[in-house]
Amino acid sequence: MQRKRTKTVEDPIFEVRDTTVSFDMDRGESKVLNEVDIDVERGEVLGVVGESGSGKSMFASALLNAVVDPGQLTGDITFYPEPEKPVDLLSLSQSEIKQVRWEEISMVFQGAMSSFNPTMSIRDHFRETLAVHDYDVEEGMERAEDLLSDLYLESDQVLDSYPHELSGGMSQRALIALSLVLKPEVLVMDEPTAALDLLMQRSIIRLIRQIADERDLTIVFITHDLPLVANLADRIAVLYAFEFVEVGPAYEVLTEAKHPYTRALLNSTPNLETPREQMRPIEGAAPDPVSVPNGCSYHPRCPLADATCERDDPPLESDTPEDGHVAACHYVDTVPETVPLTLQEVKVNE
Name the segment binding ligand ATP (CB under 6 A); options: 52-60, 79-87, 150-158, 178-186: 52-60
Instruction: Tell me the residue ranges of DSSP E strands in the chain.
Output: 12-25, 28-41, 45-49, 72-79, 87-88, 105-109, 186-190, 218-223, 235-240, 243-249, 326-327
As measured in angstroms, the least distance from the Cβ of 28 to ligand ATP is 12
**Candidate residues 14, 23, 244, 261; the one interacting with ligand ATP per rule CB under 6 A:** 23
34 touches ligand ATP by CB under 6 A: no
Residues with Cβ within 8 Å of 101's Cβ and at least 6 positions away in sequence, in order, are 64, 66, 107
**Candidate residues 55, 163, 192, 248; the one interacting with ligand ATP per rule CB under 6 A:** 55
Going by C-alpha positions, the residue among 149, 350, 168, 343 that lies closest to residue 249 is 350
Would you say 220 and 227 are in contact if contact means Cβ atoms under 8 Å apart? no
143 touches ligand ATP by CB under 6 A: no
314 touches ligand ATP by CB under 6 A: no
289 touches ligand ATP by CB under 6 A: yes
Site size with ligand ATP, rule: CB under 6 A: 13
What gap in Å lies between CA 348 and CA 20, rounded to an integer?
33
**Candidate residues 52, 94, 95, 344; the one interacting with ligand ATP per rule CB under 6 A:** 52
**Candidate residues 32, 181, 196, 211; the one interacting with ligand ATP per rule CB under 6 A:** 32
**Candidate residues 46, 58, 130, 174; the one interacting with ligand ATP per rule CB under 6 A:** 58
**Candidate residues 12, 43, 50, 163; the one interacting with ligand ATP per rule CB under 6 A:** 50
CA-CA-CA-CA torsion for 267, 272, 274, 279, nearest 10 degrees?
20
2-to-8, 139, 210, 212, 251 alpha-carbon distances in Å = 17, 27, 11, 11, 18
How many C-beta atoms lie closer than 10 Å to residue 256's C-beta?
15
114 touches ligand ATP by CB under 6 A: no
As measured in angstroms, the least distance from the Cβ of 61 to ligand ATP is 8
Crossing angle for the helix pair 137-150 and 168-180, to the nearest 10 degrees: 140
Name the segment binding ligand ATP (CB under 6 A); options: 55-63, 132-140, 153-161, 306-314: 55-63
203 touches ligand ATP by CB under 6 A: no
101 touches ligand ATP by CB under 6 A: no
